[in-house]
Amino acid sequence: MKTTIRTITAAALLAVTALISSSCLKDTGYYYGPGIFFPDAVVTVKPLDDQGSSFYMQLDDNTTLLPVGYGASPYKGDEVRAFVKYTEVGGDAGEYDKAVKLIWIESLLTKEMAPDKGSNNAYEYGSDPVEIIKGFPTVVEDGYMTLGFITYSAGFGGQHDVNLIYTGNPDATEDSEKYVVEFRHDANGDTYGKFLEGYVAFRLDGVDGLPDTEGKTVKLTLKWNSIRYGDRSVQFDYCTRESSGEIDGAGDAEGTDEGIDTSNLLKLQ
């Protein structure tokens, strides 16, 4: 699946303060000022049939939203992660937790995990550095790892390839060895210029994904190559298809004195 995140979410998500936030403001709203262009949450859009003629949204591991009066899913039969702006409305939500009116919805690039190529991972998937955003929308929930990140780009629309790889030992008894993933980034030579941002979500329980936690909550380790610090890692709480993540006190995402250029967004695949 290919998508380019459009500018409707740019200013909302990446002022410099987002990069040094001390907590993950999950599903409670994230604002730098008034207006309709700031998302309330990141959700999973779940079609109720193959054509997506109706759908609901998973807000977090425990809350479902029913969009009232919206019609078909804009993503047909695909399950995707998306930014949403909504208001709660009265009335019966049926089997869902809340009925809502969607003001806007904007998809993130949503991918399966990539196969581990061992010593060839750098060649296959790249090793260009990024900084992971510490705060919204970086979270692990509903079986997905959703990441916000920044990296260098000349801003001319060059494509950046991003992948998540399972590099743990499925037979290990310790979480720190069993549940390990690596974020890989190939800038395809677009490694100079200003900082631009990107957003991507990875399904964690696919063919090349994580071992089933069998109902237990485990520590999932994310590793990446940081622009400033080299090899970095952070841990999330994870339970297969019932996961949640907090990143307090770990995995800092740092900017530079030059700040962030929000006039453009990375083109991701």
pLDDT at residue 37 above 80?
no
Looking at residue 117, its pLDDT comes to 97
**Using CA atoms, how far apart are residues 123 and 181, in angstroms rounded to an integer?**
17
Looking at residue 236, its pLDDT comes to 95
Question: For 5-108, where are the E strands, in sequence order?
Answer: 41-47, 55-58, 64-67, 80-88, 98-107
Least confident of 57-61, 73-77, 164-168, 184-188: 73-77
pTM, full prediction: 0.80
- Return the structure tokens found at 163: 């992948």
Looking at residue 25, its pLDDT comes to 23
Looking at residue 10, its pLDDT comes to 34
Looking at residue 260, its pLDDT comes to 33
**Using CA atoms, how far apart are residues 152 and 198, in angstroms rounded to an integer?**
11
Least confident of 77-81, 107-111, 252-256: 252-256
Q: What is the pLDDT of residues 3-14, one digit of tens each?
A: 333 322 333 333
Per-residue pLDDT band for 208 (boundaries 50, 70, 90) equals very high
Residues forming a β-bridge with 235: 221
Contact 179, 218 (CB under 8 A): yes
Contact 60, 244 (CB under 8 A): yes
* Mean pLDDT (the chain, rounded): 79
Contact 180, 195 (CB under 8 A): no
Amino acid 89 reads V
Mean predicted confidence (pLDDT) in 117-129: 97
Q: Which of 162, 148, 109, 145 is nearest to 2 (CA)?
A: 109
Q: What is the pLDDT of residues 131-190, one digit of tens each?
A: 999 888 999 999 999 999 999 999 887 899 999 999 999 999 999 999 999 999 999 999
pLDDT at residue 1 above 80?
no
Looking at residue 32, its pLDDT comes to 32
Contact 150, 160 (CB under 8 A): no
Mean predicted confidence (pLDDT) in 94-110: 93
Mean predicted confidence (pLDDT) in 89-97: 88
Per-residue pLDDT band for 23 (boundaries 50, 70, 90) equals very low
Mean predicted confidence (pLDDT) in 98-122: 95
